[in-house]
A and B are shown apart, each in its own frame.
Chain A
Amino acid sequence: MIDIISKIKKANLIGRGGAGFPVYKKWELVKSFSGDKYIIANGAEGEPGVKKDEYILKNYSQDVLQALELADNYLQAKEIFLYLNHNFKYLERKLKRQIKNKKIKIVYKPKNAGYMAGEESALLSILESNHLEAGLRPPFPVESGYRNGPTLINNIETLYNVSLAAKEKYKQERFYTISGACFNPGVYKLKDNLSIFEVLKKTKNLPAFDFFVQVGGDASGEVLNQGQLQEEVSGCGSITIYNLRDHEAISLIKYWVEFYLNSSCGKCTPCREGIYRLYEMLSSKKMNWPLFLDLLDNLSYSSFCALGSSLPIPIKSYLKNINPSLSLT
């Protein structure tokens, strides 16, 4: 058996789900706890504007399955779930043909579950009871996850990287999804430390018009202006391009808020009620900006899970970097 941990360590892999946790650490943690162990490949890909997991499963599914095999060898899992976005159903026949390990089960994210369903605790609540709700942490899934067993949850891209690391073929690359107002949208595999500007240039997507970008997902990504393109591409590696002159500020903010309104599980007050009030305000066009900003701050301070506290990221960065006068009206 190959020493997978030292290979992952050597490749310096970090999780590609967005949080950037060192992969070997997560594997070791799961191993260190006692009880039946479970592995979940997270392909919920609920963040709009991100298409890399689908792309990987389309082109490199063998590698992903290979990584699950390695994880199984390392952990001796009781069950393994390939948890996928329901839009990936067209890949099922191919995947089933390729799956040799009988422990692996394909499970689809419920259609109406949306964004939230990729969050680890919510994902577990769906797998266990088919009900979507964020769970209390700690304990973290590495200690007590699916059916209270130590559970390894890795993103599809992370698993792909694991298989490369095992073959010593990992080349510090990652997948970038580019969309929006551009000529060459799609998923690209490039070096993992590129700036936004470099990625746009290399993929021939640098607009000729005035623009701004949202980086790290259309829902939770930060909004940056043309002067901020030297920053590295963060989070799950997506860049969405907006036309600065063409966009309508309130519609864009409403798009974000509505997305979260439909994604919220309903558990906690700031998210369930706060986002409802944000949406109400935007729909009635009677903006009370001080209250609007208060409700956003309240989400950052007191929401139960990371979903609630991520809505303020796009809106506040938009207001700061693109449209500073809007909230003063």
Chain B
Amino acid sequence: MNKKISFRINNKQVFGNTGQTVLDVAKENKIFIPTLCYHPDLPIKGNCRICLVEIKGEKKLKTSCSTLISEGMEVKTDSKKVRFSRNLNLELIFSEHAEKCGNCINNIDCQLLALAKRYKLKITRFADRKNDRKTHKFGPAVEIDGSQCIDCQSCLQACELLSGISHLKLSKKGYKQQIEPKLNRFKGKPSKDNGFACVYCGQCALHCPVGAAQEQSSFKQVRNLLDNPKIKVVAQIAPAVRVSIGEEFGLKAGEIVTGQLFSALKLLGFEAVFDVNFGADITTLVEAKELIERIKEKKPLPMMTSCCPAWVRYIEVYRPDLIPLLTTSRSPQLHNAGLIKTYYAKLNPEKGRKIKTVSIMPCTAKKYESSRSELKYKGERLIDEVLTTRELAYMLHKKGIQLNKLKDQKPDNLLSSHSGAAAIYGGSGGVMESALRTAKYMLSPKSRFQALEFKAVRGLKGIKEASYRIANKTLKVAVVSGLKNAQSLLDHLDNYHYIEVMACPGGCIGGGGQPIPTTEEIREKRRQALYRIDSQKKLRQAHKNKEAIEMIKWLEKEKIDHKILHTKYTRKFS
């Protein structure tokens, strides 16, 4: 690229383009400038006053995140004045943040803590002033602890601009200002759940620099289960976790640690470990079948995916008129757990010991999904607890288990084979592509050419559209990631046969439960890793996963196929 502007940072000559900020160019040149309210996913705010720099000729310090570069500029990132204000502002911010680091999942990722260590700050210079602030709980998924909030407003932006929900608001002003949920979304419909308009996607938590917005943690409950000898605790891991959790152990984004993850879970005390990728193959089979039925029998179209619980909740709360379009297929974690609690339990009878399942998910909304009452089987939850990627990393760190140093292990033999098509469920377009691979086969099983790759539906772009010619029919599809993008699509649904929606940017790789930070660059690396797993597999289509097909047959034979494979949706609040 042609770099047009020349200027100096800390006496070093650097180059940049018009429109770039000082922070952009500093990053490109590996010059560290601390940030808190800055997040590349969100518009610049300039609230926290941490990324200050001194510019020759300017009286005030400038925030490097918002200051555009200009020719001949002389920037200092660590002058006496910069250190003075940056450190004082950090100390002031610390007085907003009641330290609960000991039990805080976020303490691995906490940007505030990292800066305090880096600059050797006196974090208690000012007494905590927000101790009596409320914690707002949103369903069983997410919470915002006002006593830890540093007023950066990133959660507010994430909720408005990424989710398009605008469920959060800033109330009061000055030092009294606080983040609150909006309560009056549906007037006259009071609800005990004060997150009733929240869809639990967790983008607020993912974009919070200090863990004030966080998942409602389940690690204590999981610890208790693991400590109870009367319970057999098994784990299952989501497709997107294996390409991200390494980051919490110093590995690069996109390193695939599937085998090490299985070892780590065993070390933590899980008696058996399963791969939700198996469940994903089941989901593909169920969903592809339903798609074909809908097209052939002229049932409501477009069919919309339902793997993403935040998306499902969005429909149930905000657009219940579209409920008939959601596939009745359950999500992979439920398909997997459904078989664990039926088939696996039957094969491995435990005298007097109950089986409890724990899902490891890149997601906060999965906590909510697993608690939904219509998904119970014989009155019991199929998934007893859900841990986010971050929570699992926290538990491992606490136990001193260095995931990156472990040897690989395989999952349990049962319910763990999977196709490459299942692996890509973790990225936007993956569900669509898997279903298309299988639908194409189902529609023309004898065709010699079985398409394996549907590249137009891949990638991080918010809205992707494609049309495919399958068995003399044109199938128009759309793939959306980022709930806000879905909202614009809902106005012209007639154009499509099949739509995949994931609430989080990039799909589950950018999920609300994933390691922090998550940026576009990191999402892309995780995404590529998923497609690497797919392309390295011999088995790349769900319908070639014999175990999956056998399992569906077994469910049919037991006459519980409908109970385990399908679900229903209900209008909420409105």
Which A residues are closer than 8 A to B by beta carbons?
A: 112, 131-132, 136, 261-270, 272-277, 294-295, 297-298, 300-304, 309
Q: Count residues of B near A (Cβ-Cβ below 8 Å).
A: 30
Question: Is B174's CB under 8 angstroms from A298's CB?
Answer: no
Beyond known contacts A266-B170, A302-B61: 20 more, CB 8 A cutoff: A136-B46, A261-B174, A261-B175, A264-B175, A265-B174, A266-B151, A266-B173, A266-B177, A269-B48, A269-B93, A272-B151, A272-B177, A273-B93, A273-B126, A274-B88, A298-B84, A300-B60, A301-B61, A301-B85, A309-B60
Answer whether A301 and B81 are a contact pair too, CB < 8 Å, given A266-B151, A276-B129.
yes
Q: Which residues from A are CB-within-8-Å of B61? A: 301-302
Answer whether A270 and B85 are a contact pair too, CB < 8 Å, given A261-B174, A264-B174.
yes
Q: Which residues from A are CB-within-8-Å of B88? A: 270, 274, 294-295, 298
A123 to B52, CA, bound (A): 26
Cβ-based interface call for B103 (8 A): no
Give the most central of A294, A298, A300: most B CB within 10 Å.
Answer: A298
A129 to B278, CA, bound (A): 49
A270 to B40, CA, bound (A): 23
A56 to B539, CA, bound (A): 82
- Smallest beta-carbon distance A261→chain B, Å: 7
Q: Which residues from B are CB-within-8-Å of A262? A: 174
Q: Which residues from A are CB-within-8-Å of B81? A: 301
Complex interface residues of chain B between 62 and 105 (CB less than 8 A to chain A): 66, 81, 84-85, 88-89, 92-93, 95-96
Q: Which residues from A are CB-within-8-Å of B96? A: 273
- Smallest beta-carbon distance A310→chain B, Å: 12
A145 to B49, CA, bound (A): 24
Q: Which residues from B are CB-within-8-Å of A273? A: 89, 92-93, 95-96, 126, 175
Top 7 A-B pairs, shortest CB-CB distance: A266-B177, A273-B92, A264-B174, A302-B85, A276-B175, A269-B89, A266-B174
- Smallest beta-carbon distance B146→chain A, Å: 14
Question: Is A302's CB under 8 angstroms from B174's CB?
Answer: no
Of chain A, the residue at the smallest CB distance from B176 is A266
Which B residues are closer than 8 A to A by beta carbons?
A: 44-50, 52, 60-61, 66, 81, 84-85, 88-89, 92-93, 95-96, 126, 129, 151, 170, 172-177
Q: Which residues from B are CB-within-8-Å of A303? A: 49, 60
A262 to B170, CA, bound (A): 17
Of chain A, the residue at the smallest CB distance from B48 is A269
Question: Is A302's CB under 8 angstroms from B177's CB?
Answer: no
Q: Which residues from A are CB-within-8-Å of B52? A: 301-302
A-B contact pairs, 15 of them (CB 8 A): A136-B46, A267-B45, A269-B48, A269-B50, A270-B88, A273-B93, A274-B92, A277-B126, A298-B85, A298-B88, A301-B52, A302-B61, A303-B49, A303-B60, A304-B46
Q: Which residues from A are CB-within-8-Å of B46? A: 136, 268, 304
- Smallest beta-carbon distance B336→chain A, Å: 45
Q: Which residues from A are CB-within-8-Å of B47? A: 267-269, 304
Of chain B, the residue at the smallest CB distance from A309 is B60
Of chain B, the residue at the smallest CB distance from A306 is B60
Question: Is A264's CB under 8 angstroms from B48's CB?
Answer: no
- Smallest beta-carbon distance A158→chain B, Å: 25
Q: Identify which of B49, B175, B177 contacts A270 (C-beta below 8 A).
A: B49
Interface SS majority for chain A: helix
Q: Identify which of A131, A261, A301 contacts B170 (C-beta below 8 A).
A: A131
Q: Which residues from A are CB-within-8-Å of B129? A: 276
A118 to B126, CA, bound (A): 31
- Smallest beta-carbon distance B69→chain A, Å: 13
Q: Which residues from B are CB-within-8-Å of A300? A: 60
Q: Which residues from A are CB-within-8-Å of B177? A: 266, 272
Q: Identify which of B49, B66, B84, B92 contacts A277 (C-beta below 8 A).
A: B92
Question: Is A304's CB under 8 angstroms from B175's CB?
Answer: no
Give the most central of B44, B170, B174, B176: most A CB within 10 Å.
Answer: B174
Question: Is B173's CB under 8 angstroms from A264's CB?
Answer: yes
Q: Identify which of A132, A261, A298 contacts B89 (C-beta below 8 A).
A: A298
Answer whether A297 and B44 are a contact pair too, CB < 8 Å, given A266-B151, A266-B173, A272-B177.
no
Q: Which residues from B are CB-within-8-Å of A275? A: 175
Of chain B, the residue at the smallest CB distance from A294 is B88
Q: Which residues from A are CB-within-8-Å of B45? A: 136, 267
A261 to B49, CA, bound (A): 18
Q: Which residues from A are CB-within-8-Å of B176? A: 266
Q: Which residues from B are CB-within-8-Å of A131? A: 170
Q: Which residues from A are CB-within-8-Å of B173? A: 112, 132, 264-266
A132 to B172, CA, bound (A): 10
A273 to B172, CA, bound (A): 15
- Smallest beta-carbon distance A65→chain B, Å: 32
A298 to B92, CA, bound (A): 11
A138 to B66, CA, bound (A): 9
Q: Which residues from B are CB-within-8-Å of A272? A: 151, 174-175, 177
A136 to B177, CA, bound (A): 19
Give the most central of B47, B50, B84: most A CB within 10 Å.
Answer: B47
- Smallest beta-carbon distance A270→chain B, Å: 6
A173 to B102, CA, bound (A): 66
Q: Which residues from B are CB-within-8-Å of A261? A: 174-175
- Smallest beta-carbon distance A220→chain B, Å: 16
A47 to B318, CA, bound (A): 45
- Smallest beta-carbon distance B226→chain A, Å: 42
Give the most central of B44, B48, B175: most A CB within 10 Å.
Answer: B175
Q: Which residues from A are CB-within-8-Å of B66? A: 136
Q: Which residues from B are CB-within-8-Å of A297? A: 84
Q: Which residues from B are CB-within-8-Å of A295? A: 88
- Smallest beta-carbon distance A311→chain B, Å: 13
